Protein backbone atom coordinates (compact mmCIF):
# COMPACT_ATOMS: atom_id res chain seq x y z
CA UNK A 1 0.00 0.00 0.00
CA UNK A 2 1.50 3.32 -1.03
CA UNK A 3 0.40 6.89 -0.44
CA UNK A 4 1.46 10.48 -1.08
CA UNK A 5 2.76 12.09 2.08
CA UNK A 6 3.32 15.83 2.48
CA UNK A 7 6.09 16.55 5.03
CA UNK A 8 6.01 20.03 6.57
CA UNK A 9 8.92 21.21 8.75
CA UNK A 10 10.93 24.43 8.96
CA UNK A 11 14.19 22.52 9.61
CA UNK A 12 15.67 21.09 6.43
CA UNK A 13 17.40 18.20 8.26
CA UNK A 14 14.08 17.02 9.76
CA UNK A 15 12.44 17.03 6.35
CA UNK A 16 15.28 15.00 4.83
CA UNK A 17 15.21 12.46 7.66
CA UNK A 18 11.48 11.81 7.35
CA UNK A 19 11.68 11.81 3.58
CA UNK A 20 14.40 9.14 3.66
CA UNK A 21 12.41 6.88 5.98
CA UNK A 22 9.17 7.17 4.04
CA UNK A 23 10.82 6.79 0.65
CA UNK A 24 12.44 3.61 1.89
CA UNK A 25 8.93 2.23 2.51
CA UNK A 26 7.87 3.29 -1.01
CA UNK A 27 5.77 6.25 0.01
CA UNK A 28 5.58 9.13 -2.42
CA UNK A 29 6.91 12.26 -0.67
CA UNK A 30 6.22 15.98 -1.09
CA UNK A 31 7.82 18.61 1.15
CA UNK A 32 7.13 22.11 2.42
CA UNK A 33 9.19 24.32 4.75
CA UNK A 34 6.51 26.68 6.07
CA UNK A 35 2.77 26.99 6.64
CA UNK A 36 1.88 28.95 3.52
CA UNK A 37 3.72 26.53 1.27
CA UNK A 38 2.05 23.60 3.06
CA UNK A 39 -1.44 25.01 2.45
CA UNK A 40 -0.65 25.71 -1.19
CA UNK A 41 0.71 22.24 -1.81
CA UNK A 42 -2.11 20.54 0.09
CA UNK A 43 -4.65 22.35 -2.06
CA UNK A 44 -2.86 21.78 -5.34
CA UNK A 45 -1.31 18.34 -4.91
CA UNK A 46 -3.97 16.69 -2.71
CA UNK A 47 -1.63 14.45 -0.70
CA UNK A 48 -3.08 11.44 1.15
CA UNK A 49 -1.49 12.31 4.49
CA UNK A 50 0.15 15.43 5.96
CA UNK A 51 2.98 15.20 8.51
CA UNK A 52 2.95 18.60 10.14
CA UNK A 53 5.53 20.14 12.48
CA UNK A 54 3.95 22.20 15.26
CA UNK A 55 6.76 24.64 15.95
CA UNK A 56 7.35 26.78 12.89
CA UNK A 57 8.12 30.50 12.57
CA UNK A 58 5.23 32.52 11.12
CA UNK A 59 2.17 30.32 10.81
CA UNK A 60 2.47 27.47 13.32
CA UNK A 61 1.25 23.91 12.89
CA UNK A 62 -2.05 24.46 14.73
CA UNK A 63 -3.03 27.30 12.44
CA UNK A 64 -2.06 25.30 9.35
CA UNK A 65 -4.14 22.40 10.66
CA UNK A 66 -7.15 24.63 11.39
CA UNK A 67 -7.02 26.08 7.88
CA UNK A 68 -6.69 22.64 6.30
CA UNK A 69 -9.73 21.44 8.24
CA UNK A 70 -11.72 24.59 7.38
CA UNK A 71 -11.37 24.09 3.62
CA UNK A 72 -13.62 21.60 1.87
CA UNK A 73 -10.77 20.87 -0.55
CA UNK A 74 -8.41 19.59 2.16
CA UNK A 75 -10.64 18.76 5.15
CA UNK A 76 -10.61 15.03 4.49
CA UNK A 77 -6.81 14.68 4.42
CA UNK A 78 -5.56 13.09 7.66
CA UNK A 79 -3.03 15.25 9.55
CA UNK A 80 -0.31 13.89 11.84
CA UNK A 81 1.11 16.60 14.09
CA UNK A 82 4.75 16.31 15.07
CA UNK A 83 5.28 17.63 18.61
CA UNK A 84 7.95 17.87 21.28
CA UNK A 85 8.52 14.83 23.45
CA UNK A 86 6.63 15.95 26.56
CA UNK A 87 4.27 18.24 24.71
CA UNK A 88 1.04 17.15 26.37
CA UNK A 89 -0.67 20.53 26.00
CA UNK A 90 0.62 20.72 22.43
CA UNK A 91 -1.05 17.42 21.64
CA UNK A 92 -4.37 18.50 23.12
CA UNK A 93 -4.25 21.75 21.16
CA UNK A 94 -3.47 19.73 18.05
CA UNK A 95 -6.46 17.45 18.47
CA UNK A 96 -8.62 20.51 19.09
CA UNK A 97 -7.33 21.97 15.83
CA UNK A 98 -8.61 18.83 14.10
CA UNK A 99 -5.44 16.75 13.75
CA UNK A 100 -6.07 13.01 13.45
CA UNK A 101 -2.89 11.90 15.16
CA UNK A 102 0.47 12.96 16.48
CA UNK A 103 4.04 11.76 16.72
CA UNK A 104 6.64 12.98 19.17
CA UNK A 105 10.19 14.02 18.41
CA UNK A 106 12.58 12.31 18.12
CA UNK A 107 10.42 10.25 15.81
CA UNK A 108 10.51 6.49 16.23
CA UNK A 109 10.69 5.11 12.68
CA UNK A 110 8.50 2.08 13.45
CA UNK A 111 5.79 4.28 14.93
CA UNK A 112 6.05 6.64 11.97
CA UNK A 113 5.45 3.90 9.41
CA UNK A 114 2.69 2.25 11.45
CA UNK A 115 0.81 5.54 11.82
CA UNK A 116 1.18 6.51 8.19
CA UNK A 117 0.01 3.06 7.07
CA UNK A 118 -2.97 3.11 9.41
CA UNK A 119 -4.06 6.54 8.17
CA UNK A 120 -3.53 5.53 4.52
CA UNK A 121 -6.03 2.75 5.04
CA UNK A 122 -8.54 5.24 6.40
CA UNK A 123 -7.85 7.63 3.54
CA UNK A 124 -8.70 4.92 0.99
CA UNK A 125 -12.16 4.54 2.54
CA UNK A 126 -12.70 8.29 2.67
CA UNK A 127 -11.70 8.65 -0.98
CA UNK A 128 -14.06 5.88 -2.04
CA UNK A 129 -16.95 7.57 -0.24
CA UNK A 130 -16.10 10.96 -1.68
CA UNK A 131 -16.00 9.54 -5.20
CA UNK A 132 -19.41 8.04 -4.75
CA UNK A 133 -20.69 11.28 -3.25
CA UNK A 134 -19.45 13.22 -6.27
CA UNK A 135 -21.19 10.75 -8.60
CA UNK A 136 -24.38 11.15 -6.57
CA UNK A 137 -24.22 14.94 -6.83
CA UNK A 138 -23.87 14.69 -10.58
CA UNK A 139 -27.05 12.65 -10.74
CA UNK A 140 -28.76 15.18 -8.49
CA UNK A 141 -29.13 12.43 -5.90
CA UNK A 142 -27.23 14.09 -3.08
CA UNK A 143 -28.19 17.41 -1.63
CA UNK A 144 -24.86 18.54 -0.24
CA UNK A 145 -26.34 20.96 2.27
CA UNK A 146 -28.69 18.38 3.68
CA UNK A 147 -25.93 15.85 4.18
CA UNK A 148 -23.69 18.51 5.78
CA UNK A 149 -26.50 19.48 8.15
CA UNK A 150 -27.00 15.87 9.13
CA UNK A 151 -23.33 15.61 9.97
CA UNK A 152 -23.35 18.73 12.12
CA UNK A 153 -26.40 17.57 14.03
CA UNK A 154 -24.90 14.16 14.65
CA UNK A 155 -21.48 15.40 15.77
CA UNK A 156 -22.51 16.32 19.31
CA UNK A 157 -24.93 13.50 20.07
CA UNK A 158 -23.84 10.98 22.73
CA UNK A 159 -22.09 7.92 21.35
CA UNK A 160 -22.27 4.31 22.51
CA UNK A 161 -18.82 3.43 23.81
CA UNK A 162 -17.91 -0.15 24.65
CA UNK A 163 -14.91 -0.59 26.96
CA UNK A 164 -13.20 -3.98 27.31
CA UNK A 165 -10.57 -3.78 30.04
CA UNK A 166 -9.86 -5.96 33.08
CA UNK A 167 -7.84 -3.31 34.93
CA UNK A 168 -10.34 -2.04 37.51
CA UNK A 169 -8.81 1.39 38.15
CA UNK A 170 -8.37 2.09 34.48
CA UNK A 171 -11.91 0.97 33.67
CA UNK A 172 -13.27 3.26 36.39
CA UNK A 173 -11.33 6.21 34.98
CA UNK A 174 -12.62 5.50 31.47
CA UNK A 175 -16.17 5.32 32.71
CA UNK A 176 -15.84 8.52 34.76
CA UNK A 177 -14.26 10.50 31.94
CA UNK A 178 -16.57 9.44 29.15
CA UNK A 179 -19.92 9.06 30.93
CA UNK A 180 -20.41 12.85 31.03
CA UNK A 181 -20.95 12.88 27.28
CA UNK A 182 -21.46 9.30 26.16
CA UNK A 183 -23.26 6.07 26.98
CA UNK A 184 -20.53 3.82 28.30
CA UNK A 185 -20.63 0.06 28.84
CA UNK A 186 -17.63 -1.47 30.62
CA UNK A 187 -16.78 -5.18 30.47
CA UNK A 188 -13.79 -6.96 31.97
CA UNK A 189 -13.81 -9.54 29.19
CA UNK A 190 -14.93 -9.60 25.54
CA UNK A 191 -18.72 -9.45 25.38
CA UNK A 192 -21.01 -9.88 22.40
CA UNK A 193 -24.16 -8.01 21.47
CA UNK A 194 -24.99 -4.34 21.00
CA UNK A 195 -23.70 -2.12 18.21
CA UNK A 196 -21.34 0.46 19.71
CA UNK A 197 -20.02 3.57 17.93
CA UNK A 198 -16.58 3.07 19.43
CA UNK A 199 -14.65 0.20 21.02
CA UNK A 200 -11.92 0.86 23.58
CA UNK A 201 -9.91 -2.27 24.27
CA UNK A 202 -6.84 -2.93 26.37
CA UNK A 203 -4.12 -4.99 24.71
CA UNK A 204 -2.38 -5.14 28.11
CA UNK A 205 -5.20 -7.13 29.74
CA UNK A 206 -4.26 -10.21 31.72
CA UNK A 207 -7.60 -12.02 31.50
CA UNK A 208 -8.12 -11.93 27.70
CA UNK A 209 -6.26 -11.36 24.44
CA UNK A 210 -6.94 -7.78 23.36
CA UNK A 211 -5.35 -8.34 19.95
CA UNK A 212 -7.80 -11.13 19.27
CA UNK A 213 -10.68 -8.78 20.13
CA UNK A 214 -9.39 -6.21 17.61
CA UNK A 215 -8.86 -8.79 14.86
CA UNK A 216 -12.30 -10.28 15.39
CA UNK A 217 -14.06 -6.90 15.28
CA UNK A 218 -12.16 -5.91 12.16
CA UNK A 219 -13.03 -9.07 10.25
CA UNK A 220 -16.72 -9.45 11.19
CA UNK A 221 -19.07 -7.73 8.74
CA UNK A 222 -21.25 -5.70 11.16
CA UNK A 223 -18.24 -4.28 13.03
CA UNK A 224 -15.81 -3.89 10.15
CA UNK A 225 -16.04 -0.09 10.18
CA UNK A 226 -16.19 0.28 13.95
CA UNK A 227 -13.49 2.65 15.24
CA UNK A 228 -11.17 0.98 17.76
CA UNK A 229 -9.00 2.71 20.35
CA UNK A 230 -6.39 0.42 21.87
CA UNK A 231 -4.85 0.94 25.29
CA UNK A 232 -1.13 0.18 25.10
CA UNK A 233 2.15 0.68 26.93
CA UNK A 234 4.50 3.49 25.82
CA UNK A 235 7.49 1.29 26.68
CA UNK A 236 6.29 -1.59 24.50
CA UNK A 237 6.26 -0.33 20.90
CA UNK A 238 5.79 -3.85 19.56
CA UNK A 239 2.33 -4.00 21.14
CA UNK A 240 1.42 -0.57 19.81
CA UNK A 241 2.42 -1.48 16.29
CA UNK A 242 0.66 -4.81 16.44
CA UNK A 243 -2.57 -3.10 17.57
CA UNK A 244 -2.39 -0.61 14.70
CA UNK A 245 -1.50 -3.29 12.16
CA UNK A 246 -4.45 -5.41 13.24
CA UNK A 247 -6.74 -2.46 12.56
CA UNK A 248 -6.98 -0.27 15.66
CA UNK A 249 -7.55 3.31 14.46
CA UNK A 250 -5.74 4.87 17.33
CA UNK A 251 -3.86 4.04 20.52
CA UNK A 252 -3.66 5.65 23.94
CA UNK A 253 -0.91 5.01 26.46
CA UNK A 254 -1.19 3.83 30.04
CA UNK A 255 -1.46 5.65 32.42
CA UNK A 256 -4.39 7.23 30.64
CA UNK A 257 -4.61 11.00 30.54
CA UNK A 258 -8.29 11.88 30.81
CA UNK A 259 -8.14 14.98 28.59
CA UNK A 260 -6.26 13.16 25.89
CA UNK A 261 -8.75 10.31 26.13
CA UNK A 262 -11.70 12.68 25.72
CA UNK A 263 -10.06 14.36 22.73
CA UNK A 264 -9.21 11.10 20.98
CA UNK A 265 -12.67 9.71 21.56
CA UNK A 266 -14.16 12.91 20.14
CA UNK A 267 -12.08 12.60 16.97
CA UNK A 268 -12.91 8.92 16.47
CA UNK A 269 -16.64 9.41 17.03
CA UNK A 270 -16.70 12.39 14.69
CA UNK A 271 -15.05 10.35 11.99
CA UNK A 272 -17.44 7.42 12.53
CA UNK A 273 -20.46 9.73 12.20
CA UNK A 274 -19.00 11.34 9.13
CA UNK A 275 -18.63 7.93 7.51
CA UNK A 276 -22.05 6.68 8.62
CA UNK A 277 -23.86 9.76 7.36
CA UNK A 278 -22.05 9.68 4.06
CA UNK A 279 -22.80 6.00 3.59
CA UNK A 280 -26.48 6.31 4.53
CA UNK A 281 -27.12 9.31 2.31
CA UNK A 282 -25.39 7.66 -0.56
CA UNK A 283 -26.93 4.24 -0.46
CA UNK A 284 -30.46 5.51 -0.04
CA UNK A 285 -30.04 8.58 -2.20
CA UNK A 286 -28.51 6.76 -5.12
CA UNK A 287 -31.07 4.00 -5.06
CA UNK A 288 -34.04 6.36 -4.82
CA UNK A 289 -32.62 8.68 -7.40
CA UNK A 290 -32.03 6.22 -10.19
CA UNK A 291 -34.61 3.47 -9.67
CA UNK A 292 -38.26 3.25 -10.61
CA UNK A 293 -39.90 2.06 -7.40
CA UNK A 294 -42.61 -0.10 -9.02
CA UNK A 295 -40.56 -2.03 -11.55
CA UNK A 296 -37.00 -1.78 -10.24
CA UNK A 297 -35.81 -0.58 -13.66
CA UNK A 298 -33.85 2.65 -13.97
CA UNK A 299 -35.83 5.89 -14.16
CA UNK A 300 -35.85 8.84 -16.54
CA UNK A 301 -33.25 10.74 -14.54
CA UNK A 302 -30.79 7.89 -14.85
CA UNK A 303 -31.45 7.61 -18.55
CA UNK A 304 -30.83 11.31 -19.12
CA UNK A 305 -27.58 11.25 -17.13
CA UNK A 306 -26.22 8.34 -19.17
CA UNK A 307 -27.64 8.91 -22.63
CA UNK A 308 -26.32 12.44 -23.09
CA UNK A 309 -22.59 11.59 -22.79
CA UNK A 310 -23.05 8.48 -24.98
CA UNK A 311 -24.65 10.52 -27.75
CA UNK A 312 -21.92 13.12 -27.43
CA UNK A 313 -19.21 10.47 -27.81
CA UNK A 314 -21.01 8.98 -30.81
CA UNK A 315 -21.28 12.40 -32.46
CA UNK A 316 -17.51 12.81 -32.07
CA UNK A 317 -16.84 9.57 -33.91
CA UNK A 318 -17.27 7.08 -31.05
CA UNK A 319 -19.50 4.02 -31.01
CA UNK A 320 -23.07 4.48 -32.15
CA UNK A 321 -25.82 4.37 -29.52
CA UNK A 322 -29.45 3.34 -30.09
CA UNK A 323 -32.65 3.94 -28.18
CA UNK A 324 -35.87 1.92 -28.06
CA UNK A 325 -39.01 3.63 -26.82
CA UNK A 326 -41.70 1.06 -25.98
CA UNK A 327 -45.33 1.65 -25.02
CA UNK A 328 -47.79 -1.05 -23.92
CA UNK A 329 -50.77 -1.11 -26.29
CA UNK A 330 -54.20 -0.23 -24.89
CA UNK A 331 -52.86 -0.17 -21.36
CA UNK A 332 -55.73 2.09 -20.24
CA UNK A 333 -58.11 -0.77 -20.97
CA UNK A 334 -56.25 -3.00 -18.52
CA UNK A 335 -56.62 -0.42 -15.77
CA UNK A 336 -60.26 0.28 -16.62
CA UNK A 337 -61.25 -3.38 -16.84
CA UNK A 338 -59.22 -4.96 -14.04
CA UNK A 339 -58.20 -2.03 -11.80
CA UNK A 340 -54.84 -0.48 -11.00
CA UNK A 341 -53.51 -3.43 -9.01
CA UNK A 342 -53.66 -5.61 -12.09
CA UNK A 343 -52.28 -2.68 -14.10
CA UNK A 344 -49.27 -2.62 -11.77
CA UNK A 345 -48.84 -6.38 -12.17
CA UNK A 346 -48.76 -5.96 -15.93
CA UNK A 347 -46.17 -3.18 -15.65
CA UNK A 348 -43.96 -5.36 -13.45
CA UNK A 349 -44.22 -8.36 -15.75
CA UNK A 350 -43.52 -6.15 -18.75
CA UNK A 351 -40.42 -4.77 -17.00
CA UNK A 352 -39.28 -8.32 -16.25
CA UNK A 353 -39.60 -9.27 -19.92
CA UNK A 354 -37.61 -6.18 -20.93
CA UNK A 355 -34.93 -6.96 -18.37
CA UNK A 356 -34.55 -10.57 -19.52
CA UNK A 357 -34.35 -9.43 -23.14
CA UNK A 358 -31.46 -6.97 -22.58
CA UNK A 359 -27.73 -7.28 -23.04
CA UNK A 360 -25.78 -6.69 -19.81
CA UNK A 361 -24.64 -3.28 -21.04
CA UNK A 362 -28.12 -2.08 -22.06
CA UNK A 363 -29.95 0.36 -19.82
CA UNK A 364 -33.65 -0.50 -19.39
CA UNK A 365 -35.76 2.34 -17.96
CA UNK A 366 -39.34 3.14 -17.11
CA UNK A 367 -40.01 6.65 -18.40
CA UNK A 368 -43.39 6.91 -16.69
CA UNK A 369 -46.85 5.34 -16.98
CA UNK A 370 -46.73 2.49 -19.48
CA UNK A 371 -43.83 4.00 -21.40
CA UNK A 372 -40.38 2.40 -21.27
CA UNK A 373 -37.03 2.94 -22.95
CA UNK A 374 -33.92 0.88 -23.52
CA UNK A 375 -30.60 2.54 -24.23
CA UNK A 376 -28.31 0.27 -26.24
CA UNK A 377 -24.69 1.40 -26.17
CA UNK A 378 -22.53 0.32 -29.07
CA UNK A 379 -25.51 -0.67 -31.25
CA UNK A 380 -26.46 0.34 -34.78
CA UNK A 381 -30.05 0.92 -35.92
CA UNK A 382 -30.18 -2.56 -37.48
CA UNK A 383 -29.11 -4.32 -34.33
CA UNK A 384 -31.51 -2.22 -32.24
CA UNK A 385 -34.42 -3.02 -34.57
CA UNK A 386 -33.68 -6.73 -34.24
CA UNK A 387 -33.60 -6.39 -30.46
CA UNK A 388 -36.89 -4.46 -30.55
CA UNK A 389 -38.50 -7.12 -32.70
CA UNK A 390 -37.28 -9.82 -30.29
CA UNK A 391 -38.82 -7.89 -27.37
CA UNK A 392 -42.11 -7.43 -29.25
CA UNK A 393 -42.34 -11.21 -29.81
CA UNK A 394 -41.32 -11.89 -26.22
CA UNK A 395 -44.26 -9.76 -25.01
CA UNK A 396 -46.92 -10.92 -27.48
CA UNK A 397 -45.76 -14.54 -27.48
CA UNK A 398 -47.08 -15.56 -24.06
CA UNK A 399 -49.99 -14.16 -22.02
CA UNK A 400 -49.36 -12.14 -18.84
CA UNK A 401 -50.53 -14.17 -15.85
CA UNK A 402 -52.00 -11.91 -13.14
CA UNK A 403 -54.06 -12.21 -9.95
CA UNK A 404 -52.08 -15.26 -8.87
CA UNK A 405 -52.98 -17.16 -12.00
CA UNK A 406 -56.67 -16.19 -12.04
CA UNK A 407 -56.34 -14.06 -15.20
CA UNK A 408 -54.32 -14.41 -18.39
CA UNK A 409 -54.02 -11.22 -20.41
CA UNK A 410 -52.88 -10.84 -24.00
CA UNK A 411 -50.49 -7.87 -24.02
CA UNK A 412 -48.75 -6.29 -26.98
CA UNK A 413 -46.24 -3.47 -27.33
CA UNK A 414 -45.37 -0.83 -29.93
CA UNK A 415 -41.75 0.20 -30.24
CA UNK A 416 -39.95 3.10 -31.91
CA UNK A 417 -36.23 2.77 -32.62
CA UNK A 418 -33.55 5.35 -33.44
CA UNK A 419 -29.76 5.23 -33.58
CA UNK A 420 -27.37 8.14 -33.26
CA UNK A 421 -26.09 9.68 -36.48
CA UNK A 422 -24.20 12.80 -37.42
CA UNK A 423 -22.47 15.51 -35.47
CA UNK A 424 -25.57 17.45 -34.51
CA UNK A 425 -27.23 14.57 -32.68
CA UNK A 426 -28.23 15.14 -29.04
CA UNK A 427 -30.02 12.94 -26.52
CA UNK A 428 -33.16 14.99 -27.20
CA UNK A 429 -33.12 14.63 -30.99
CA UNK A 430 -32.42 10.90 -30.65
CA UNK A 431 -35.27 10.34 -28.21
CA UNK A 432 -37.54 12.48 -30.37
CA UNK A 433 -36.91 10.31 -33.43
CA UNK A 434 -37.55 7.14 -31.43
CA UNK A 435 -40.80 8.76 -30.23
CA UNK A 436 -41.81 9.47 -33.82
CA UNK A 437 -41.18 5.81 -34.64
CA UNK A 438 -43.38 4.81 -31.71
CA UNK A 439 -46.15 7.15 -32.90
CA UNK A 440 -46.01 5.62 -36.39
CA UNK A 441 -46.13 2.10 -34.94
CA UNK A 442 -49.25 3.02 -32.97
CA UNK A 443 -50.92 4.66 -35.97
CA UNK A 444 -50.23 1.80 -38.31
CA UNK A 445 -51.93 -0.80 -36.12
CA UNK A 446 -49.82 -1.33 -32.94
CA UNK A 447 -47.86 -4.47 -31.96
CA UNK A 448 -45.03 -3.49 -34.25
CA UNK A 449 -41.55 -1.94 -34.49
CA UNK A 450 -40.75 1.19 -36.50
CA UNK A 451 -37.18 2.35 -36.95
CA UNK A 452 -36.64 6.04 -37.78
CA UNK A 453 -34.07 7.54 -40.14
CA UNK A 454 -31.06 5.44 -40.88
CA UNK A 455 -32.45 2.54 -38.90
CA UNK A 456 -34.30 0.42 -41.43
CA UNK A 457 -37.48 -1.28 -40.17
CA UNK A 458 -36.88 -4.86 -39.12
CA UNK A 459 -39.98 -6.19 -40.80
MG1 LIG B 1 9.96 23.27 13.80
Region class of 442: left (phi > 0), else alpha (psi between -120 and 50), else beta: alpha
Q: For residue 275, report the distance from its CA to the centre of ligand 1, in Å.
A: 33
User: Helix, strand, coil: what percent of the chain each, to 5?
Assistant: 50, 20, 30
Q: Give the per-residue pLDDT at 459.
A: 43
CA of 56 to the centre of ligand 1 (A): 4
CATH of domain 300-451: 3.30.70.270
Q: Which of 374, 453, 363 is nearest to 413 (CA)?
A: 374
CATH no. for 1-138: 3.40.50.2300
- Dist. CA 238 → ligand 1 center (Å): 28
In the reported structure, the alpha carbon of residue 89 is separated from the centroid of ligand 1 by a whole-number distance in angstroms of 16
Report the run of H or E that residue 155 belongs to, with start and end. helix 144-155
pLDDT of residue 128: 67
Question: Does residue 106 have a cis bond before it (omega within 30 degrees)?
Answer: yes
Consecutive 10-residue runs of the chain (459 residues): their mean pLDDT?
90 95 93 97 95 95 95 89 79 84 84 81 72 62 50 69 95 93 91 83 96 91 87 90 88 88 82 73 67 89 86 87 97 94 95 88 92 94 94 96 92 97 90 96 96 57
Q: How far is the CA of 9 from the centre of ligand 1 (A)?
A: 6
Predicted confidence at residue 456, as pLDDT, reads: 41
For 141-287, CATH number?
Answer: 3.40.50.2300
**Among candidates 64, 19, 16, which has minimal Cα distance to 41?**
64
C-beta of residue 327 within 8 angstroms of C-beta of residue 438 = yes
- 429, 434, 438, 444: CA torsion to nearest 10: 90
The pLDDT of residue 447 is 97
Give distance in angstroms: CA of 82 to centre of ligand 1. 9
- Supply the pLDDT for residue 133: 67
Q: Find the DSSP H helices in 184-249.
A: 210-219, 237-246
> CA-to-CA distance for 81 and 95, rounded, in angstroms?
9
d(CA 32, CA 56) in angstroms, rounded, equals 11
SS3 for 400? Answer: strand
CA-angle at 295, arms to 294 and 296, nearest 5°: 105
Strands 413-419 and 321-328: antiparallel
d(Cα 382, Cα 263) in Å, to the nearest integer?
Answer: 66
> Radius of gyration of the chain from Cα atoms?
30
Residue 260 has what pLDDT? 80
Catalytic residue positions, numbered: 370
Please give the model's pTM, rounded to 2 decimal places: 0.57
Instruction: Please determine whether the domains at 141-287 and 300-451 fall in the same fold group of CATH.
Output: no
CA distance 265 to 248: 13
Looking at residue 118, its pLDDT comes to: 75
pLDDT of 321 reads 94
* DSSP H or E run through 449: strand 449-451
Name the nearest CA neighbour of 436 among 455, 422, 410. Answer: 455
Report how far ligand 1's centroid is from the alpha carbon of 54 (Å). 6
Domain boundaries, the chain: 1-138, 141-287, 300-451
Q: Ligand 1 centroid vs 107 CA: distance in angstroms?
A: 13
Cα–Cα dist 62/96, whole Å: 9
Amino acid sequence: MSARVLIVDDVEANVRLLEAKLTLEYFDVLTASNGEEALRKAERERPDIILLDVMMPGMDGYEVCRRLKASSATRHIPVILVTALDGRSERLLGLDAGAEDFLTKPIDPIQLIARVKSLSRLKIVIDELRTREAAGEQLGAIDERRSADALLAAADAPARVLVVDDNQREAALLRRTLAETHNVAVHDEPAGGGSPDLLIVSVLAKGFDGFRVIAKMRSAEPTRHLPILAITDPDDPEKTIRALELGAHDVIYRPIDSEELAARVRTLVKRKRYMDALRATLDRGLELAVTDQLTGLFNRRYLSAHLEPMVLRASCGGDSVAVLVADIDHFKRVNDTYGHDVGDEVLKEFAARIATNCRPTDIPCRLGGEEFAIVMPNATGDVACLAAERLRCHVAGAPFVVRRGAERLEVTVSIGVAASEGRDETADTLLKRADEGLYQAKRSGRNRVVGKAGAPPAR
